[in-house]
Amino acid sequence: MAKIVVLGAGISGHTAAAFLKKKLGRKHEVVVVSPGAYYQWIPSNIWVGVGKMTIDQVRFKLKPVYDRWKIDFKQAKATTLWPEGDATLSQPFVTIEYTGDGKQGTTEKITYDYLVNATGPKLNFEATEGLGPQKFTHSVCSCDHAVKTWDALQVCFERMKQGETIRFLIGTGHAAATCQGAAFEYALNVAHQIRERGLQDKAEITWISNEYELGDFGMGGAFIQRGGYVTSTKVFSESILAEYGIRWIKRAGVFKVEEKRAHYETLDGEMNHMDFDFAMLIPAFAGSGFKAYRKDGSDLTAAMFAPSGFMKVDADYTAKPFEEWSVEDWPSTYQSPLFDNIFATGIAFAPPHQISKPMKSPNGTLITPSPPRTGMPSGVIGKIVALNIVEKIKGSKEFKHKASMGKMGAACVVSAGYGFFRGNAATMTVFPIVPDWEKYPMWGRDVKYTVGEAGLAGHWIKLFLHYMFIHKAKGYPFWWLIPE
């Protein structure tokens, strides 16, 4: 009997665990370790943050689902990894510290035959002074954060009704932050809610981003088909922001936030600030931070993980100029190069290089979005890792399933308002995620499958996807037929 331990129960980890158990059945053991008691459908936190969904519409408790699937669930966080075992235990194991189940603070060694690191990101608010829900800005990175953000937004609406002009600042809160799409979506939803209340004349909304051009989204931007012609995501994004009356600041790295004031550095080296009454800024992401050790106790962390804390996998991490990087540098199986029974999925794996061209200010500050790995790519990677582990357990010596982001497409639906008849959304697909300039020398991507449209139909699609993916995550009938 094989024992597979999955660290993390987000989109990637939950998907991996579901397919592992479905394919392996009761003959093998699947253990999921996650510090939270809930699964949450993170893309819909945007709607929680504007009061259009409740917290329980975007989350559910994990244990009942895992009990039904016969998966052992431990509400805990990984603290140390021992891929060779230690002096007292010859098997590979991970040390966990319980955060729930009535065992808070106690530790346990969990042995494994295969390990899937799907811990996702640490929300690195600390990387920007004054950033985060405990300081001076709000967040929609978790459903708990989104609830508090909605509470604060309602206060702003009341102040606006009393005749006060409110300054909104929404975007990225660090020079190397990713997830521009989520912040972009939130800005549009806030603007929509203000418009619905007839308060446009009492709102000043500013979008602030570390992107060189709007619509970069950490993937170097894209050229998309729209209405029968090819345009850039820069034009696409600027036109949508302009339609909603949102001004923008680009090429900006926020480095400090004080009460009602954000300080930022621009790519030309200037130090500026923006005053606000309400700010929702996405933090930088970092790895979960657990350490790895050899059997003799020597530290293995730097060999297994990139400086960011994300795990190295089957990618080419050779240092070289940006112009020399290739789509072939990106991983396809997400297997650790040091231990063939360890994998990293979703945001937990270390990208080999930037997708957007690295840009530094004269002060040496890198002001460039980090590569995105959220949503659809995370689910796909979790699934292919699970399928490869299953086949390896069953005796296969080759990986039949691969999912390079340089050969994978992705779809993104950015809501711009909520309502069955008054909702709106911008729908965009890209193929591949990482541009392949050798295969597609003109655009970097296949424009037949890289398209963008805006309208009410996109909102219906996003709403349908919300309920479809909740159905899938809960393991309801035929869940495995729903694509990642």
Burial class of 362 by CB neighbour count within 10 A (0 to 12, 13 to 18, 19+):
exposed
Q: What are phi and psi of 189, to 5 degrees?
A: -70, -40
Distance CA 98, CA 108 (A): 8
Q: What are phi and psi of 65, to 5 degrees?
A: -70, -45
- Residue pLDDT, tens place only, 62-111: 999 999 999 999 999 999 999 999 999 999 999 999 999 889 999 999 99
Residue pair 31/72 in contact (Cβ under 8 Å)? The answer is yes
Does the pLDDT of residue 455 top 80, yes or no? no
Determine the average pLDDT of the residues in 175-180: 94
Determine the average pLDDT of the residues in 33-37: 97
Residue (of 117, 134, 124, 123) closest to 45 by Cα position: 123
Determine the average pLDDT of the residues in 162-184: 96
Q: What is the CATH number of domain 3-123+286-363+370-393?
A: 3.50.50.100
Global pTM? 0.95
Residue pair 311/344 in contact (Cβ under 8 Å)? The answer is yes
Residue 127 is predicted with a pLDDT of 97
Residue 276 is predicted with a pLDDT of 98
Residue 358 is predicted with a pLDDT of 96
- Residue pLDDT, tens place only, 405-447: 999 998 888 888 777 767 777 778 889 999 999 999 988 999 8
Residue 190 is predicted with a pLDDT of 97
Mark residue 434 as left, alpha or beta (left: phi above 0; alpha: psi -120 to 50; beta: remaining).
Answer: beta
Distance CA 205, CA 202 (A): 10
Every domain of the chain and the residues it spans? 3-123+286-363+370-393
Grade residue 389 by pLDDT with cuts at 50, 70 and 90: very high
Six token digits for residue 203 = 């709102």
When computed from its CA atoms, the radius of gyration of the chain, rounded to whole angstroms, is 22
Q: What is the mean pLDDT of the chain?
A: 94
Determine the average pLDDT of the residues in 323-334: 95
DSSP string, 299-359: B-HHHHB-TTSPBP-SS------GGG--GGGS-SS-B-SS-TTEEE-GGGBPPSS-SSPP-
- Residue pLDDT, tens place only, 210-268: 999 999 999 998 888 777 778 888 998 999 999 999 999 999 999 999 999 999 999 99
Residue 142 is predicted with a pLDDT of 96
